[in-house]
Structure 1
Amino acid sequence: MTMSFAFSTAESASVVGLEAASTTPALFSSIGMTDALAWVAIGAFLLALGLEWQGVREPARYLGTGAWFTFGVFWLTMVPYYYADAQSPLQTVLAVVALPLCVYTGYLLWNGRNSLFLLTKAIALMGLIYLPAETIPFVRQWLIETTAAQTHVAMELLGHSPGINEGANGYESRFDFDPDETVTGRTTYIVLACTGLGSMAIFGGLIAAVNAPFKRKAAAFSLSIVVIWFLNLVRNVFIGLASPWGWFQQEWLVSFMTTYMGAQPDRVSYLVAHNYISQVLAVVALVGITYVLVKILPEILAPLEEVLFVLTGTEYDLFEALGKSDARPDHRYSSQ
C-alpha cells in the first residue's frame, strides 16, 4: 500500500494525503532511494514468481526471501518521514513493524511455506499498479489534477468555491482559499496519495492474484474502484475544508497537540482531520470493502489467510469460518 505526502510551509499549505503509507515523500524524492528500493523489491518478487512458475522452486524461494527483506527495508526508510514530517502515529507504527513482518515472511518462504507465493504475487501486482503512476510524470499529473478538480466541484456543492492554483508539487492542485478570510490561514493541495490509487492498488493486486472466473473478478474490481473513489472524494473534501476553516482548532486540542505532538498551532485542524480521523476511518473502510468483496470473490480469502498466519503464527481457515468452503481455490502454492 504506497503513496506520497508533501508539505509546504512557505505557501502555508497542508497536503491532503489519503492513504496509510507513502512511496516517495519529499524528504527522499531528491535521491530516489525509496523509489529504487520499491522497484528492486517488486522486480525481485516478479522474478521469483517467474522462477516458481517454471518449477525452479528452491531458487525462487531464495530470491523471494531477498525481495521480502528489501521490501521491509523500504518501509524502514519511511519511519523518519512519518514520525517527524507527516507526524502520523499510525503510519509511523505501521512502517516500524513492516520490517520485522517482511523479514519473517521471507524466513517462512525460505523454510518452505510455498503458499506465501500467492501473497508475494498479490504484493507484486499491487506494486505494478501503483509504481508506474508514481514514476511516470504525465500519469501522475493527470491523476492529481483530475482529483483536485473533482474535489473542487464537490466543495462547490457545499457552498465553497476557492478556485485552484499551482501547489508546491507544480500541479494545478492547490485550493486557493484566501488566508485572510479563513480561520487558520492555511489551505491544502492534492498529491498522488489523495487520488485513492494506493487503496485501489491493494484490492487490484488481491483480485488479480487469485484464480477465479473473469466475470466475478471484474465485478469485484469495479465495485472496489467505485467505492474507493467515492470515499476518497469525501475525505478530500473533509480535510480540504477542515484545515482552512479550523474545524478542530479547539483550545484544549491545540494545547495538547502542540505540547505533546510537536504540532504547529495553525496546523492542528489539518493533523486531526488527516492523521487521526481520516486514517482511522480509512482502515475501517478497507475492512468493510474487503467484507463486501468476499461475498463476490471469496477466493481473495486465500492470500488473507497467509497474512493472518504471518501476523499470528496460527493457521486460519477463513473459507470455513465464513461458510465459503466450496470456493477454496485449488491453487498451485502449497506448504511443505
Structure 2
Amino acid sequence: MVNSPLLDALAWVAIAGFFGAVVFQWRGGTDLARQLAAGSWLVFGLFWLTMVPYYYLDAQSPIQTVLALAALPLCVYTGYLLYSGRESLLLLSKAVAIMGLIYLPAETIPFVRQWLIETTAMQAHFVMDLLGHAPGLSEGANGYQSRFDFDPDETVTGRTTYIVLACTGLGSMAIFGGLIASVSAPLKRKLSAFALAIGVIWFLNLLRNVFIALASPYGWFQFDWLVSFMTTYMGAQPDRVSFLVAHNYVAQSLSVVALVGITFLVVRILPEVLAPLEEVLFVLSGTEYDLFEALGHEEARPDATGDREQ
C-alpha cells in the first residue's frame, strides 16, 4: 500500500465521519447520523479512487484496480441511499468505521506497521526454512527487515520479494472484525466467531506469503508463452512474471474464495452478521435479499426478541 498524507487524511476523515454517525444514532439523532454517514461514504469513495493509479501502475493488479474503480460509484450510491432515508445502512457504516479503526493505526503509525510487517516476514521465513529454503532476511524497500534474501545467482529470475502491510492479512482481519463487532449478539459467540476468522486468515495468509516468496525467485510461472503474453499485453517485466501471476492472479483469486468460505464459517457461529451483508447485496444489486430466511437463521434477525445462544 502506498503511503501518502492525502490518502491517510481521506481515510481518517471518512472513518471519523462514520464514527460520528454512530454516536448521533446512539443519541437518537438518526437523521443527522444518516447525513453525516452519507458524506463519509463520499469521502471513502474518493479515497479508493486515489488508489487506482497505484494498483494499476505500481502493483499491476487488475483485480484491485477494478475494485478501486468500482468503489467510488458504489460509495456514492450508498451515500445517496442513506441521505434518501435508508436507515439500515447505518449498520454497514458502523462496520466500516470499526474496520478502519482496526486497519488505519497499522497503516499510519510507523512502529505498529513495522512490528506487523517484520513479524509476518519472520513467520513466512520460518515456514520456508522448514521446507528447505532459508534465504535469510534483509532490509526491504520499506526499510524493514522484510526482504527474503535469496541469492540472485542461485534463482531462476534473480528476483525476490519483501513483505509489506498488505501481506500481513490485516485487511481481511479488519473486514471480519468490523462485521462481527458491529452487530448485537452475545459476547461469547462474537469472540468465537472472531477467533475463528482471525485464525483461518492468519494460516491462509502465511501459506500465501510462502507461495509468493518461493514462486517469484524460482520462476514457477516463467513459461515462455506466459512471459510473452504478460510482457506484450500487460506491460510486465519478463523477470517479474512469476511474481505477478502468483500474487495478482493466483493468490488474489484464491483470497476471494477464502473470504467467501470464512464468511460461511462465521455465519454458522454468528448469523447476526447477515444483516450488514444484506445491505452490501442491496447496494450491489438494488434488490432486497432475506439471507436470514434463505440460510435458516430467522431467529437471529435484528428485530427478533432478545439475543440468545443458538
What TM-score comes out, normalization by structure 1 length? 0.89
1:48 to 9, 12, 21: 21
Which one-letter code corresponds to 2:170 in the other structure? L
Write the distance in 2 (CA, Å) between the matches of 1:81 and 1:136: 21
**1:274-322 CA-partner distances (Å, limit 9, x unpaired):** 0000000000000000001100000000000000000111110000000
**1:220-275 CA-partner distances (Å, limit 9, x unpaired):** 00011110000000000000000000000000000000000000000000000000
Moved over 3 A (4+): none
Q: Which residue of 2 aligns with 1:148?
A: 121
Q: Which residue of 2 aligns with 1:211?
A: 184
Q: Which residue of 2 aligns with 1:65?
A: 38
Q: Which residue of 2 aligns with 1:39?
A: 12
Q: Which residue of 2 aligns with 1:94?
A: 67
Higher RCO, 1 or 2 (CA under 8 Å, sep at least 6)? 1
Which one-letter code corresponds to 1:190 in the other structure? I
Q: 1:133 deviation in Å?
A: 1.1
**1:16-39 CA-partner distances (Å, limit 9, x unpaired):** xxxxxxxxx1xxx2x411111000
Write the distance in 2 (CA, Å) between the matches of 1:250 and 1:273: 13
Q: 1:330 deviation in Å?
A: 2.2
Write the distance in 1 (CA, Å) between the matches of 2:5 and 2:87: 32
Equivalenced residues, count:
304
CA RMSD of aligned residues (A): 0.8
Q: Secondary structure at the match of 2:153?
A: coil
Write the distance in 2 (CA, Å) between the matches of 1:47 and 1:104: 20
1:291 to 264, 286, 289: 264
Write the distance in 2 (CA, Å) between the matches of 1:148 and 1:84: 25
Q: Which residue of 1 aligns with 2:295?
A: 322
Structure 1 residue ranges without an equivalent (≥5): 5-24, 332-336
The equivalences for 1:78-227 within 5 A come to 78-227=51-200
What TM-score comes out, normalization by structure 2 length? 0.97
Q: Which residue of 2 aligns with 1:272?
A: 245
Q: 1:85 deviation in Å?
A: 1.1
Write the distance in 2 (CA, Å) between the matches of 1:268 and 1:99: 30
Which one-letter code corresponds to 1:227 in the other structure? V
Which one-letter code corresponds to 2:60 in the other structure? Q
2:210 to 237, 248, 252: 237
Q: 1:140 deviation in Å?
A: 0.9
